[in-house]
């Protein structure tokens, strides 16, 4: 099997928009533009690790209010109740809706946590030299993390739909809680963190 | 067409010469196995047809309510925009904007700009803004969440079905159809292949050669 060279080691880079391979000018020269699509070409996303850390830490901080404060307030025939994400899942379980409990638990708790943990792991391991096979697994892990992130929005949409539908005056109403706002921010921030991370960094510390 | 293309993998940066494969096949990175590009079957006509269908359904999905809820004679319906609006009006302005963007605006923007790009390429013209739209399409995709929205409607409906009568309206059927057509369309589109087509059109429109349709 032939040894694969990294584009960076040859002074080349792939355009992030159209994939054209471009020769990079020497350091400190002006930022090169892609001759095909006109986009800026980076060998690695600029400040990838710092940005990923920033978005990740922000999302972790907001994950606390997202779970502590109620995401939804419900009145039904005068009785008021408010639910956090976790107590909402517990309510589904109590009512025997196993499937719904599973969907919400996965989308609102498992997916965001897994995203944070896997990004944290990638950020910490990226400075160490990769054993080839582990780098491959980490690349897959990154791809999965980036792909599943959007599904965390399920809960936000559910709250929106219920708020729109359940406005029956004295019978029943639903109001969004402040936790929903924090949770929406967590979803957006974890997505931004994943997008900011450059998977090519996983392969960079390889011995030539 | 047995030329080769120089590509660097977006995930592991491995530089490699890859063959230009016939329609229906894909090329994987020799280093990490990521798909470098896939050459879809059906040329440009297939995704254009699918997206035209999706466009009709998208308009319908936004013209009719999605679901109606009936509790003891009092009924209420909602739509995509209605959901965003409800959050916006209940003191969750940012959340309402987020829902508006991800469930309605971004899916629509992707749909219409993809169609514009495909039609431009099909007519072999560099229509104004085509380049910018194609560039935009490579970044905007993660923010498209119409499919997540449909799952959320189902969750909300099951949750409500115990204490209210739930009626599924025309908009929801249209929305599901739009999503299915959209999935089929994106399976028949590869952005890298589109850039190469655009490049060839630019090349030939400088007057060196005449260009046959459908290549």
> Which residue of A85, A163, A185 to mutate against B (max B Cβ within 10 Å)?
A163
Taking every pair of C-alpha atoms in chain B, what is the biggest distance, in angstroms?
73
Tell me the per-residue pLDDT of B12-69, one tens digit each, with 9 for 90 and over.
999 999 999 999 999 999 988 899 999 999 999 999 999 999 999 999 999 999 999 9
Cβ pair B83:A160 closer than 8 A: yes
pLDDT top residue among B161 and B185: B185
* Residue numbers in A near B28 (CB within 8 A): none
Q: Is A32 helix (H, G, I), strand (E, B) or coil?
A: coil
Tell me the per-residue pLDDT of A85-136, one tens digit each, with 9 for 90 and over.
999 999 889 988 898 899 999 999 999 999 999 999 999 998 887 777 788 8
Number of A to B CB contacts under 8 A, please give it. Answer: 198
pLDDT confidence of residue B208: 43
Chain A nearest CA to B49, separation (Å)? 24
pLDDT confidence of residue B81: 96
The full DSSP string for B28-67 is E-TTT--EEEEE-TTTTHHHHHHHHHHHHHHHHHHHS-SE
Instruction: Mention every residue, 6+ apart, whose C-beta is less than 8 A from residue B210.
Output: B204
Cα–Cα distance between A190 and A193 in angstroms, integer? 5
Cα–Cα distance between A27 and B131 in angstroms, integer? 28
pLDDT confidence of residue B209: 42
pLDDT at A78 > cutoff 60:
yes
Tell me the per-residue pLDDT of A23-54, one tens digit each, with 9 for 90 and over.
887 665 677 888 888 888 988 999 999 999 99
Cα–Cα distance between B95 and A185 in angstroms, integer? 8
pLDDT confidence of residue B160: 87
pLDDT confidence of residue B162: 80
So where are chain A's domains? 1-43, 47-203
The full DSSP string for chain B is ---EEEEE-TTT-BEEEEE-PPTTEEEE-TTT--EEEEE-TTTTHHHHHHHHHHHHHHHHHHHS-SEEEEETTEEEEE-HHHHHHHHHHTT-HHHHHHHHIIIIIHHHHHHHHHHHHHHHHHTT---TTHHHHHHHHHHHGGG--HHHHHHHHHHHHHHHTTTSEEEE-HHHHHHHHHHHHHHHHHHT--HHHHHHHHHHHHHHHTTSS---TT-
Nearest-CB residue to B153 (from A143, A161, A199): A161
Q: Does A12 touch chain B (CB under 8 A)?
A: yes
Cβ pair A151:B90 closer than 8 A: no
- Supply the mean pLDDT for chain B: 90
Cβ pair B31:A203 closer than 8 A: yes
CATH number of A47-203: 1.20.140
Give the confidence band of B210 by pLDDT, cuts at 50, 70, 90.
Answer: very low
């Amino acid at each position: 099997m032939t040894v694969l060279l990294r584009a960076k080691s040859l002074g080349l880079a792939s355009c992030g928009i159209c994939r054209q391979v471009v020769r990079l000018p020497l350091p400190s020269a002006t930022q090169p533009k892609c001759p095909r699509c006109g986009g800026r070409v980076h060998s690695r996303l600029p400040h990838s690790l710092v940005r990923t850390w920033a978005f990740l830490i922000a999302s972790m901080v907001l994950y606390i209010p997202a779970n502590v404060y109620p995401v939804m307030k419900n009145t039904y025939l005068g009785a008021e109740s408010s639910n956090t994400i976790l107590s909402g899942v517990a309510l589904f379980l109590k009512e025997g809706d196993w499937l719904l409990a599973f969907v919400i638990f996965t989308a609102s708790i498992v997916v965001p946590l897994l995203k944070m943990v896997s990004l944290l792991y990638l950020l910490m391991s990226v400075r160490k030299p990769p054993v080839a096979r582990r780098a491959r697994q980490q690349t897959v892990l990154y791809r999965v993390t980036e792909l599943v992130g959007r599904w965390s929005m399920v809960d936000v949409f559910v709250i929106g739909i219920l708020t729109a539908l359940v406005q029956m005056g004295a019978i029943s109403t639903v109001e969004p809680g402040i936790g929903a706002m924090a949770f929406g921010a967590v979803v957006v921030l974890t997505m931004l963190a994943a997008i900011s991370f450059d998977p090519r960094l996983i392969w960079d510390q390889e011995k030539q | 067409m047995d030329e080769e293309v120089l590509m660097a993998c977006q995930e592991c940066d491995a530089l490699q010469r890859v063959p230009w494969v016939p329609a229906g096949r894909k090329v994987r990175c020799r280093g990490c196995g990521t798909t470098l590009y896939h050459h879809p079957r059906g040329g440009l006509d297939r995704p254009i047809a699918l997206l035209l269908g999706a466009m009709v359904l998208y308009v319908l999905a936004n013209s009719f309510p999605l679901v109606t809820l009936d509790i003891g004679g009092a009924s209420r319906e909602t739509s995509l925009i209605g959901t965003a609006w409800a959050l916006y009006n209940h003191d969750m302005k940012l959340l309402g904007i987020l829902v508006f963007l991800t469930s309605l605006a971004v899916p629509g923007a992707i749909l219409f700009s993809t169609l514009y790009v495909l039609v431009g390429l099909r007519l072999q013209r560099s229509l104004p803004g085509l380049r910018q739209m194609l560039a935009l399409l490579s970044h905007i995709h993660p923010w498209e969440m119409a499919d997540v929205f449909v799952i959320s409607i189902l969750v909300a409906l099951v949750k409500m079905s115990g204490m209210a009568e739930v009626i599924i309206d025309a908009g929801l059927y249209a929305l599901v159809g739009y999503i299915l057509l959209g999935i089929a369309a994106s399976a028949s589109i590869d952005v890298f292949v589109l850039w190469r087509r655009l490049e060839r059109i630019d090349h030939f429109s400088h007057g060196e050669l005449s260009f046959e349709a459908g290549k």
